[in-house]
Structure 1
Amino acid sequence: MDERNEHDEEYFSKLAEAKEASRSELKTAADWNALNYAKLFAFSLDAFIDNVPRIDATLVPHEQFIEEYERPYEPVVIRNSQLGWKAQTNWNYEALQELYGEDRFKVGEDDEGYSVRLKLKHYLRYMKETDDDSPMYIFDSSFAERTGEKALLKDYSIPEYFADDLFEYADQKRRPPYRWFVLGPARSGTGIHIDPLGTSAWNALVHGYKRWCLFPTAVQKEALKVQKREAPKQTNEAVSWFQCVYPKTQLPSWPAEHKPLEILQKPGETVFVPGGWWHVVVNLTDTVAVTQNFAR
């Protein structure tokens, strides 16, 4: 067997293992793209509502940010909070492959809650080739604990607005997961949820485009859930939410006070999500980001 075929055999074998472990409810290859979202979920910059305010981190003092956004629990998009980050160059896909291609990142969890991991070189190939409805997604909270990937910490810094964090006073061994390296293709994302323990979060998008919807705590989860009949075997996926639930939020029958806040997050922008807000995020293109939860 020649070298190319050996590489292909390893790739397809490891990919199949990861997909089976992370989504056991999808029994066949056809189950992964049964809803044809790769064709239905098209991306155009002009197609989305964007109604969350933006501020410039170089112009808005920390105290003003607290008074106008953090204290009243108001989401906001922040520009120029990633100035000087090495991630802007180090986190392009070619550099990531060169530096971390042999390292294994978390792409999901199995039915027992254990991490499912895949070598980054295999995942980057998967990103290019996949037509899965809701692709596997690198959302890795332990990268800073592993020798190889620890260098990613040097590529970014916590934005000034979020530097003060009560979690810093907790024993690191008892501290819950709070920071994630995030990488994924179009249609991957995180389903509707509220962040745990009353924490707020910031999400810094380095490359690509993300689409967000946010709802206040008062909205009942039942109203925001994808029904099984709407997207069989894909009810917890972000792309299914935007295909099935989002259109309902635009109908006259949807309560006006519960209309979503919407964001088209662009490269270099950081989203502030106050504690208690429902939010769902889908990648519109290949993306790479870093996100962190914090407590005041």
Structure 2
Amino acid sequence: MIIQHEMSGGIGESNGLSSDVKRRKLDTYPDTSRNISVYNISSRHPLNVKPSGNSYLTLENEELIRAKQNSLGDLAVFPEELLMEILTYVDDKETLRNLSQTSRLLYAYLYDEDIWKKLYVKSLDDPQHKDDYKDWNGSWRSTVLKVKEKYQANIVLPDNLLCSDLLYRPFQCSQINYDKVFSKIIAEEEMYHRDALSNNLKTLQRGRIQRIPESQMSLQDFNQKYHDMPFILTNNDNTRWPKWNFSSLLSRFPDVKFRQEAVEWNLSLYNDYLKSNRDENPLYLFDCSSVAMKTLRKEYKAPEIFQEDLFTYFNLNDGKNNCRPDHAWLIVGPERSGSTFHKDPNYTSAWNAALTGRKLWVMLPPDITPPGVGTDEEESEVTSPVGIAEWVISGFFNDSLKIKECLVGITHPGECMYVPSGWWHSVINLDDSVALTQNFVPISKLTNVLNFLKNKREQLSGFRPNSVKETLDYAIDSLLQNKENNEDITKLKEYREKFDSLNLGEKLINEDCGEILTSQLPAMPVYELFKQLLILNGKEEELKTALGELEKLEARNKAKITGKSEAWEKLTTPATEDGPTGFSFGFNLEEESSDEE
């Protein structure tokens, strides 16, 4: 049963859905408040560090003031933000350990996990030390020092000797219990999930994400009605998705290296990390290129409505000339892990299937920047709080709920989330989770993607110079040789000549274009190449339609920036010697005033 959604005005008989869907009078889910109460964490900091507010209790405690000054010595003159910044420049683990043992306060400041994590990651780039750490000892500090966590010094500071949000907040974030924080949302979504499985869906209140049975959504439904709005595909078939969990993956690929953000560990080491870590933002396995992924990709099939993917045309010559950015990932993470707000690359859409564990999604339309997130005008730079827990605790989650367009939902195992291109989204893993995700370009999003490739060239990512060059060579020499030169083909040939003259280094030609400075590499003609590939693959009519829509979209975007529509510019354009080209209001501000005549 397709549900009715109040935000979108409901789904009626004329929405293009399969005609065999039975209709009935729909009830409504209770409109319970989804605001959260960020509870006070009862657990004490391991070293008895207190929040900054406790410092007001020590203003007249001369004994504590003297103890702090004596413990830090001359370093006491520095604000703690500057002190922590200075400590990050110490890149020798023995020096850091010795420094931490000079006083209780320095031990507390050097108890911070981020300092030791940076030291660990930096060592991976050093050929002499990249293989130093083969075991996980419970924390970044213990791992770098090669000391088991249980053998670390057990220091407890006197009450209020060190009151610091800088040190306490990461600990607070690492202790967050999302089951408790999101209890109302979880209860409502579990009811909604059960109703979807029993084909007993009801009307949703504003701010919820609709669930639709996969069997009742056709490609035509998707492209005509649903491509602009997030939704969750449900399925009663227990064999629809592979039965992967972390244990089964570990048994199959214990020694295979996977990418976990800043590190690349085998699953055995990552397993040890998952069992014991103190990170406020646990490492998230997000892998697309491991040896295991070559096998795993053969074990699942994308939903039929997501299989139409125009970016597959970047694969030429049976995949031998392939410049398509990475687009299929295995995602594994412990509870509390996840991703901060972002838009998917190159204005692609995405689907995300939860195999193990629940995921909470917060989603906002392209033109609404999430609370607590900063971005420049072009959205080329995005800044946000350090992590997800910080964003939630700081009140930004509740601020998001005040935005009527904000959508919040939870995917349960077996459900698949659709993320439209350009939508902001953040994901929180409520449990240890395993998921699959792919980026794709449906025909209904062709105009938007063309706009991005043409007008946001500096934001392209995933394209690698050498692969693009090889694809250009094959396309021009094998596929376009009998075609009459047009402006796009001319640009492709000009870029090829320019590329050949640059003599780029081995590392640079295989680098993600998003990581290469524009001064090192001219903008790649991905837009022109994509248009030619669409034509070569029989999509000329679709391209022609999309280019017409793109012209209108560019005019609207220009009007937003300049405050002047194309019609207004034509209306106010002065006449020329060749004839009138616009309308004149008859004012001549350059004439002499009548007082001077």
Secondary structure of 1:247's counterpart equals helix
For 2:349 and 2:232, locate their aligned partners in 1 and report how far apart those are by CA, in whole Å: 14
**Matching residue within 105, 121, 136 for 1:12:** 136
Matched ranges for 1:275-294 at <5 A: 275-294=421-440
With over 3 angstroms needed to count, the CA separation of the structure-2 counterparts of 1:68 and 1:118, relative to structure 1, is same
With over 3 angstroms needed to count, the CA separation of the structure-2 counterparts of 1:64 and 1:257, relative to structure 1, is same
Q: Is the 8 A contact 2:373 2:384 kept in 1?
A: no
- Give the corresponding residue for 1:157: 301
Give the CA deviation at 1:150: 1.7
1:70-95 deviation digits (Å, cap 9, x = unpaired):
1xx0110001297534621xx12222
For 2:175 and 2:393, locate their aligned partners in 1 and report how far apart those are by CA, in whole Å: 12
Q: Is the 8 A contact 1:32 1:134 kept in 2?
A: no
- Give the corresponding residue for 1:225: 373
Matched ranges for 1:118-157 at <5 A: 118-143=265-290, 146=291, 148-157=292-301
- Give the corresponding residue for 1:102: 255
Provide the identity percentage. Answer: 29
For 1:67 and 1:83, locate their aligned partners in 2 and report how far apart those are by CA, in whole Å: 29
For 2:167 and 2:267, locate their aligned partners in 1 and report how far apart those are by CA, in whole Å: 24
List alignment gaps of at least 5 residues for structure 1: 1-8, 21-29, 110-115, 227-232
- Give the corresponding residue for 1:246: 397
1:12-67 deviation digits (Å, cap 9, x = unpaired):
279849x98xxxxxxxxx97983322432331574316511000012233322332
Letter in 2 for 1:166: L
Give the CA deviation at 1:137: 0.5
- Give the corresponding residue for 2:232: 77
Matched ranges for 1:175-186 at <5 A: 175-186=324-335
Q: Which structure: greater helix fraction?
A: 2
- Give the corresponding residue for 2:380: none
For 1:12 and 1:129, locate their aligned partners in 2 and report how far apart those are by CA, in whole Å: 9
- Please tell me whether residue 272 in structure 1 is matched to residue 418 in structure 2: yes
Q: Is the 8 A contact 1:192 1:278 kept in 2?
A: yes
Provide the TM-score with structure 2 as the length reference.
0.39
Give the CA deviation at 1:98: 1.1
For 2:309 and 2:247, locate their aligned partners in 1 and report how far apart those are by CA, in whole Å: 34
Give the CA deviation at 1:130: 2.7
Instruction: Kindly report the root-mean-square deviation, in angstroms, between the aligned alpha carbons of the 2 structures.
Output: 3.0
Q: Is the 8 A contact 1:217 1:276 kept in 2?
A: yes
Q: Is the 8 A contact 1:32 1:133 kept in 2?
A: no
Give the CA deviation at 1:234: 8.4
Letter in 2 for 1:220: T
Give the CA deviation at 1:195: 1.0
Larger Rg: 2
Provide the TM-score with structure 1 as the length reference.
0.76
List alignment gaps of at least 5 residues for structure 2: 1-132, 145-165, 190-207, 375-382, 443-597
Matched ranges for 1:16-55 at <5 A: 16=140, 34-44=170-180, 46-48=183-185, 51-55=208-212
For 2:168 and 2:354, locate their aligned partners in 1 and report how far apart those are by CA, in whole Å: 27
Show structure 1 runs of 4+ deviating over 4 A.
13-17, 30-33
For 2:391 and 2:328, locate their aligned partners in 1 and report how far apart those are by CA, in whole Å: 24
For 2:295 and 2:409, locate their aligned partners in 1 and report how far apart those are by CA, in whole Å: 30
Q: Is the 8 A contact 1:188 1:239 kept in 2?
A: no
Query: 180-189 vs 119-128, which deviates more?
Result: 119-128
**Matching residue within 356, 368, 385 for 1:235:** 385
